[in-house]
Chain A
């Protein structure tokens, strides 16, 4: 059966525009920090997994080839995952599989994006100029959510403010807007109705890394492990009549599979905090509902009540989330590693007090790819 797997090292770069560093420099920065955290060197690593969004974002095809040297992979296996926006979390899960399989004891997972070396909106528009971009895809579904749920307009503004305030506590965050306010968000230009400029994610550069290890290795390491209690992935078609893109079935079933595997029966109560992939403000309530943390129509009320703020009963994106930093291919891994930081108690100023179980999540494509993991300070947490 699958062996236990733990996060034993975490590294990340700052997520601003990184014109002073090459692609190799960027990924190596995150990898070295993760190795140092784990008390390991490249020589200790059995296999490397890398993930990023489409190769066309930087114009480098199959970058595992040109990054093999920088990642210490020469003479080792290096595996490359690409599952659209969910890729960061999907890559982490591929790494977990490698450890759980019994074949590898120490796996280095690295994800990155360097948006300053390309044009992501061009690429996200199917390689055409003048495309609608990701926001243009999601805005009609957000509008549909608002109509269905009866959510008041300010919910989106409120999420945008909360995540940017959290970002002020995270030194890696890209956007730092000390005077962020609801007024400022709603007065920012309208990009894709109902999404304003300040309700959208930035274009960031950055790399993130984790070292995953078997139980034996994790117990001998210098740092507290974050145990991967469960992981799940689900994908569905991009579009067909009858598909619900507002509450995708793949997202619901992914969450069900995750909670079932972990033994979670009341996720909102039994999980302490979550890093959800929220590139546009409204996706916070949409994923709270779409991943069974709130009943349909109730997610926005949770946000409105302040429960998802740092200090609330269920903090969402204490790191500032994708709304504050979006190195696309890495963003899912950042969600996963921030969840791990919470349960290790190493999240610094955005630490959720006493967090023992945390959710890391990413989605991608036309809200059709989902990847999640649940991490805990305990190998087998008991959920009462």
Chain B
């Protein structure tokens, strides 16, 4: 495997609010982002050579619901395009590899989801093994509860640690203390309502540009220096739920520790996941975790992972950090994990 990737930078980002229930179609969320990206870069749609989106048919309850998103992406004249049935962070992964090939220099990457169309907690239960698990209706929140219980039993975390992660998602002005959070009733024992990110509607998007072209565009390029993603066994009984070896491998593969990590945006959808990810990703006290508040403050399903990349890019571009890590996850109990490493120009 090659270790010297072609320099590729994020030159523009867009992120919709995380809506409890967006009134329009998913394509409108996508279109909002794409228009903003074109406006901020001054690029024309035709100048984006490769397009790739991540979304999920199941959320809309309609097979091929991603086809409608083409309307928002802009596909006339016809575009060189692909789609992953995954979070937009995996669309970024394929775009990054596509730019490594050398014959394509620009890419549009989108992630979008509209969780309010259905009942996500019931829908996501269909991610589990169809013969042995799905008939039991084991949903992601209940499985995250098992993971939380394993953490407590192992002594690796306390309920106060969960509350501390949840508190980070609250506005600084809220004045809510960890002690107060711990007084709340259990919702899915040992998880409380504030430990669980509410699925929301939204979209995230960015433009990737290879080489010197990135410096010719307005704004500060933020270099995507490494990416990797890994998966673990689907069978919970074969895993140590208090650890995330796949996140560890992804961080290594992305070169996360080739330099200091100033900030990290982690896809913590259930607060106990922060403890596991901090350890597995090797993040110490010098790293600011989820300065945006993370998914607990806004979880636009299928865009949540790509939104982590957007949040890191924006802070680096603003000079708040020099180097950062973005993480995305998929599947029950952090089964699959992705890491992207981003660096500023200076």
Contacts and interface: CB of A to CB of B under 8 A. Distances in A.
Interface in B108-161: 123-124, 126-131, 133-134
Contact of A90 (B77, B82, B86, B332): B82
Interface in B202-230: 228-230
Interface string A253-297: 110010000000000000000000000000000000000000000
Contact of B2 (A23, A59, A102): A102
A54 B64 contact: yes
Nearest to A126: B62
Contact of B102 (A2, A73, A236, A237): A2
B123 A61 contact: yes
A117 B331 CA distance: 22
Given A78-B336, A237-B71, A103 B1 contact: yes
A40 interface: no
Contacts of A62: 56, 85-86, 127, 330-331
Contacts of A55: 56-58, 63, 85, 126
A75 interface: yes
Nearest to B94: A94
A58 to B, nearest CB: 7
B234 A101 contact: no
B90 A79 contact: yes
A65 B331 contact: yes
A303 B308 CA distance: 53
Interface residues of A, number: 66
Interface residues of B, number: 62
A142 interface: no
Given A65-B332, A234-B80, A97 B130 contact: no
A68 B246 CA distance: 13
Contacts of A253: 77-78
Contacts of B249: 75
Interface string B43-79: 0000000000000111001111011101100011111
A79 B84 contact: yes
Nearest to B61: A127
A285 B117 CA distance: 41
Interface centre among A62, A94, A250, A368 (most CB of B within 10 A): A62
B94 A73 contact: no
Interface string A52-77: 01111111111011111100011111
Contacts of A238: 67-68, 70
25 contacts: A1-B102, A54-B64, A55-B58, A55-B85, A56-B63, A60-B127, A62-B127, A64-B231, A65-B336, A66-B130, A66-B234, A74-B231, A78-B231, A80-B90, A81-B85, A82-B84, A84-B67, A103-B1, A103-B2, A117-B130, A124-B63, A234-B81, A236-B78, A237-B75, A365-B67
Interface of B: 1-2, 5, 56-58, 61-64, 66-68, 70-71, 75-86, 90, 93-94, 97-98, 100-103, 123-124, 126-131, 133-134, 228-235, 245-246, 249, 330-332, 335-336
